[in-house]
Structure 1
Amino acid sequence: MPIKTLQIPTADGQADAFAAFPDQGAPHPGVLMYADGFGIRPVLREMAQELAGHGYYVLVPNPFHRHGPAPVFDLPEYIGEEDRHAVFGRVMPLIEAHTAERVLSDADAYLRFLTDQPEVGAGPVGVTGYCIGGLWAMRTAAAYPGQVAAVAAFHGPVGADGPDLFAKITAEVHLGHAEGDITPEALGELNRALDAAGVGHISEIYPGTVHGFTMSDTDAFSASGLKRHWEHLLPLLNRALAGG
């Protein structure tokens, strides 16, 4: 799948990004993909290309563009236990600076840019996110209910904003939780809140997984967890996005 390097105008300057999409048969349904807290790197390009291979135009912005182009700081090729503490020490200030207001300001710019691309068809879009990107995906779906028809979040703190966020979501939702991130009791509480808000959803724990399980460049990676992620994400997008 081709990859195109892009610059997206935002309220706070240009956000660097890339898009992966099929090289034939345009237009395609659009998908906004939010990276995990480690940001854009080769594994995100691989995942975007995999999704593009199923007929989608996948836009992946640098969430930390205010601090510089990706990679904002050097990452090891493989993030293992010995590197994790130091990497998180660099990442957490960027995540903390990316406030809800900044998330939504950027989301507006990203969605406008995505839907303006000649390779992207008319109609609703999907949003997917990983780790903290899962929360950003949920915030985006809540802020743009008329535009976002599908939202998926994996090993993300999706309940951090409370149930008021869910009441604004009209998209179909899939939440894939790491076993190490949430207890069955907390999952039940989350799912009851989604039900009360009228959100159509699948929200489940992926067995044998820990936080970050989709990312093959970390020691959290689970091949079975990633496979399960694709088995849910692809049908969700196919159902919700015309022509998917």
Structure 2
Amino acid sequence: MPIITDTVTTPDGSCSVTFATPDGDGPWPGVVMYPDAGGPRQTFDEMAQRLASAGYAVVVPDVYYRNPGWAPFDMATVFGDPKERGRLFSMIGKVTPDMMAADAAALFDYLAARPEVRGEAFGTTGYCMGGRTSLVVAGRVPDRVGAALSFHGGGLASEDAGSPHVLADRMRAPIYVGGAEKDASFTAAQAETLDRALTAADVPHTIEFYAAGHGFAVPDNAPYDEQAAARHWTATTEFLGRHLS
């Protein structure tokens, strides 16, 4: 699948992105794919190309662009290295819901301006912290989100004010959440809280758990699970096919 690097102008500067499209003639529906805590890297270029092969124009943003020159993380070892783990969580904590919403508006403008993309409402999908971002954006920029997915996302129904579940009454897009059974950041109790909020707001949604650990869908994560990852690709294409295409 064709893929290019580009930049998107946001209120805070220039966000580097990769942009993948299917082979052949467009235009196609657009999707923002939010990376996990490790940020954009080769694994996500490959994942964007895989989603593009299903008929979507996919943009992957550098969620850490406000930290110019940041050093990439080794996802196989980062959580076992106290210094790197601290750096990772420090960077995660700097990405606020306000930033997520402002960046999303700029990314949607970028997609809308691309000749390869059709429509004014877009899909969002994300992994780990990107799964939380996907749902935050669905609540903070609802007019421009046509479908939103989250895979092994954490903090989806937490006690902090930025939790996605408190935005349920603002969401308009159908929501899909694929949680990990072995994941303290999104438990069965939290899933019930999220389900209640989405149900009360009449938001169409699916919440289900995969028999795997946090990080199951991303190939360079230590808990990557091939079977669960395959199931996640099926869920992604079926959900976007119903609600975005």
AA matched with 1:75: F
Task: Give 1:204's aligned residue.
Answer: 208
- Of 174, 179, 193, the residue aligned with 1:177 is 179
- CA 1:180 to 1:97, structure 2 compared with 1: closer, same or farther past 3 Å? same
Aligned partner of 1:18 in structure 2 is 18
Q: How many residues are matched?
A: 238
Alignment correspondent of 1:46: 46
- Paired AA for residue 232 in structure 1: A
Q: CA deviation at 1:25?
A: 1.7
User: How does 1:34-73 map onto structure 2 within 5 Å?
Assistant: 34-68=34-68, 72-73=70-71
Which residue identity lines up with residue 129 of structure 1 in the other structure? G
| C-alpha contact (below 8 Å) 1:151/1:172 kept by paired residues | yes
Match runs of 1:57-136 below 5 Å = 57-68=57-68, 72-76=70-74, 79-80=76-77, 83=80, 85-136=82-133
Q: 1:153 aligns with which of 130, 133, 150?
A: 150
Q: Name the CA distance, whole Å, in 2 between partners of 1:195 and 1:84.
A: 41
Counterpart residue number, 1:168: 170
Which residues of 2 match residues 180-199 of structure 1 at below 5 A?
180-181=182-183, 182-199=186-203
Q: Structure 2: any 5+ residue segments left out of the alignment? A: none
Question: 2 CA distance for matches of 1:4 and 1:175?
Answer: 29
- Once the two structures are TM-superposed, the CA of residue 163 in structure 1 deviates from its matched residue by 3.4
Q: CA deviation at 1:84?
A: 5.2
RMSD over equivalenced CA pairs, Å: 1.7
Given the alignment of the two structures, is residue 235 of structure 1 paired with residue 238 of structure 2, yes or no? yes
Q: Deviations over 1:108-137 (max 9, x none)?
A: 111111111110012421000111111111
Q: Percent identity?
A: 35
Segments of 4+ moved more than 6 angstroms: none
**Shift of residue 36, structure 1, vs aligned partner:** 0.5
Question: Normalised by the size of structure 1, how large is the TM-score?
Answer: 0.91
Paired letter, 2:204: G
Amino acid of the structure 1 residue aligned with 2:170: K
